[in-house]
Structure 1
Amino acid sequence: MKSLSSPAQLLFPGIETPRSSPFLKWAGGKGALLKDLRPLVPAGCSVFFEPFVGGGSFMFEFSEGREYHMYDANNWLIDTYTAVAKNWEYVAEIIDTMPCSRDHFLKVRAVHPDSVESIYEKAANLIYLNKTCFRGLFRVNKKGFFNVPYGNYDRRVYDPELLKACSVALGKIHTISCQDYRRSLASVKPGSFVYLDPPYFKAGGYSDFNRYTASKFELGDQIELAAICNELSERGVKWLLSNSDTTTIKCLYSGYRVVEVDARREINLSSQNRDIKELVIMNYNPHD
C-alpha cells in the first residue's frame, strides 16, 4: 500500500496535519451552523452520543478530548468511517484507480454496497460516488442501491491531507457503530450529552429528502424520536436537536428551549430557496 504525502509534507516532514473536517458532502450537513451550535453545547459534559452522525461536521468539531460515541443506521456510511479510521491510505489507493468519468460512475453506482466484502473498497466507492454525483447528494432506493445521477464535476475526489486528519480523529472515537438511534440511546447514562440531527421533517422542496437508508424517516419516526427525547430528559440526559422550522416540530417539542437559526441548503436547485430557517431545540439552559 502506498503512502500519500502532499508536496509540503515531502519538503517539510514535520508539517502539522490539517484539522479534521468532513470528507463527504452531506445534505443537511452542519458545517455552516457550527458557529450557532458551539455556544449551545454544554461545557460540563465529557461523554457525547451522536446517533445520526451523517457527514460528521458535529463529530469532527466536538469529539476531541471527549468520550465520543457515534452511530448511524447507514451501514455503508459507518463502514466508510471505520475504513478511513483503520487505513485511510488503502482507501485512497483504491480511489486513485477510479477515473472520473460517466461510464465509471455508472459502473460503481450499479454495485450494491452489501455485495462488497472489503470495507476499504466500500469506502472508496462511497467517497467516489459522493464527489462525482449530482450536488454530492447521498440517496439510495428501496433496494439500497445508490441512485443519484452523475454530476460531471472537475474536482478532486479526495484530499489526502484531510483524509489523514480524519483518520486520526476517527481513531480516537470511543464507538463507531451501525445502529438504529433507538438502540444507540437505550444505554445513555445521566450526565451525558446527546446531539440529534435526524432526517428533517418535511418542509418543502429538496429539504423533504429523507432517504439516507432504504427506509424513509417519516412523521411517525419524528413522533417516536420526540418521545425518546422526553425519556432522555427524565433520565437526566442533556440533549440538543436540530430540525426544520415547522409547526409540527414546534408542537412535538413544546415546553423545551427553542432557538431559530439561519441556514443555507445548497442542494436546493433554486438559489432563492437556499436560505432557510432551522430550529435548534434543547432540554437545558446553555448558560447554566
Structure 2
Amino acid sequence: MVIQIPKETSPRPFLKWAGGKSRLIQQYIPYFPKSYKTYYEPFLGGGAIFFYLQPTTAILTDINAELINTYCCVRDNVEELISLLKEHKKQHNRDYYYSVRNNSPSSALEKAARVIYLNKTCFNGLYRVNSQGKFNVPLGRYENPNICPEDLLRVASAGLYHAEIQQADFTEVLNRATGNDDFVFFDPPYHPINNTSYFTAYSANSFTKKDQELLRDTCAELASRGVRIMVCNSNSEFIQKIYTEINFEIHTIKATRSINSNIKNRGMIDELLITSFKDFYLPKQ
C-alpha cells in the first residue's frame, strides 16, 4: 500500500505526552553528536527527538506495552487504525469516553485506537495509571478534540517505517549499543525537585532513586564502550551529583513546566541535558 504524504510535512509526535521534548529541540541541536549510525531511544514517550532526527537506523523501546503497541500499529496498519479512530470520533461524548476508559479491547489495533482516542480527549493529554495498571485520567474540557489526525498519523507511519520498535526495560540497550557508531537518547521520568513535582505513575511502577542510579550506571557502561549518550532530567542536586561522579558534561536548558499540583510552580524552569561526549554540533553563526 502506498501512503499519500502531504507535501512540506515532516514527521512529528502524534501523541500528547507529559515531558514531551518538541519545544526543547532547538536548545538540544548544538549538543547532538556530529555523526552516528544507530539511534536508540529507550524511553520513547512521544518520540519528539526521533521524529526530528529521522535517523536511518533506529531502535525504539519503552516499558509501556500499550504505547509500544500503538507505535507498531501506526507503523504497520495506519489506515485500519484511522478507520477505528473515525468511529471513536463519531461516538465521542462524556459517557462514551468513560466507557472506553473503563474497558480494554482485545485486538492490537483496537487497543492502539483506544490509546490515541483517550490521549486526544483526556485531561491535558496525560498518560497515568493506578497501582493496578489501569488508565485513570478524567475527561478533558475540549470542544472539538482532534481525535483522528489522519495526515499526522500517515506521516508518522512513514517516519517509523524503518524503525525497530519493542517493549523493553531501558537496561536492554546494554545488549545492543556497543561503540561510537551508536547514539542513545535517554528521557527518563524526571527526579522530583520538590514534594509538589511528583508525577505519578506513567507505568504501574514508579521510577525511584535506585532506578535513577541504575540509569546512571547504564550510561557509564555505555560511555565506556564509546557510545554517545544524552540524558534529560530535572535540575536537582541528586541528578547533578550522580552524573558529576562519572564525569559527564552537564548543561542547563530552559523549559516550560505545565504540569504541577501548585499553579504557582508552573512556568519557566531549568532542566539538565547531560552528555558523555564533546564533539557537538556548533551553533550556526
TM-score normalised to the size of structure 1? Answer: 0.89
Matched, 1:238 2:228: yes
Q: Which runs of 5+ in 2 are unaligned?
A: none
Matched, 1:284 2:273: no
Q: Aligned Cα RMSD in Å?
A: 2.0
Report the equivalent of 1:63. Answer: 54
TM-score normalised to the size of structure 2? Answer: 0.90
Contact conserved, 2:51 with 2:159, CA < 8 A, in 1?
A: yes
Partner Cα separation in structure 2 for residue 35 and residue 15 of structure 1:
24
Contact conserved, 1:78 with 1:178, CA < 8 A, in 2?
A: yes
Contact conserved, 1:72 with 1:179, CA < 8 A, in 2?
A: yes
Report the equivalent of 1:8. Answer: none
Query: Following superposition of structure 1 onto structure 2, how do residues 196-215 of structure 1 map, counting pairs within 5 Å?
Result: 196-204=186-194, 207-215=197-205
Partner Cα separation in structure 2 for residue 164 and residue 206 of structure 1:
38
Q: CA deviation at 1:211?
A: 1.6
Partner Cα separation in structure 2 for residue 206 and residue 109 of structure 1:
27
Report the equivalent of 1:164. Answer: 154
Partner Cα separation in structure 2 for residue 15 and residue 196 of structure 1:
31
Q: Which runs of 5+ in 1 are unaligned?
A: 6-12
**Residue deviations 1:125-153 (CA, integer Å, cap 9, x gap):** 00110111111110011211100111131
Matched, 1:29 2:13: no
Report the equivalent of 2:260. Answer: 268
Letter aligned with residue 152 of structure 1: R
Partner Cα separation in structure 2 for residue 287 and residue 17 of structure 1:
28
Q: CA deviation at 1:62?
A: 1.1
Identity among equivalent pairs (%): 35
Identify which range, 231-240 or 149-158, moves more after superposition.
149-158
Partner Cα separation in structure 2 for residue 160 and residue 14 of structure 1:
10
Matched, 1:150 2:150: no
Matched, 1:20 2:11: yes
| Secondary structure of the structure 2 residue equivalent to 1:96 | helix
Letter aligned with residue 51 of structure 2: F
Q: CA deviation at 1:100?
A: 2.4
Letter aligned with residue 47 of structure 1: T
Matched, 1:188 2:177: yes
**Residue deviations 1:260-280 (CA, integer Å, cap 9, x gap):** 000012233626522211000
Partner Cα separation in structure 1 for residue 46 and residue 216 of structure 2:
23
Partner Cα separation in structure 2 for residue 39 and residue 19 of structure 1:
20
* Aligned length, in residue pairs: 273
Report the equivalent of 1:45. Answer: 36
Instruction: Kindly report structure 1 stretches of 4+ aligned residues shifted beyond 3 Å.
Output: 204-207
From 64, 69, 82, give the equivalent of 1:79: 69
CA 1:96 to 1:206, structure 2 compared with 1: closer, same or farther past 3 Å?
farther
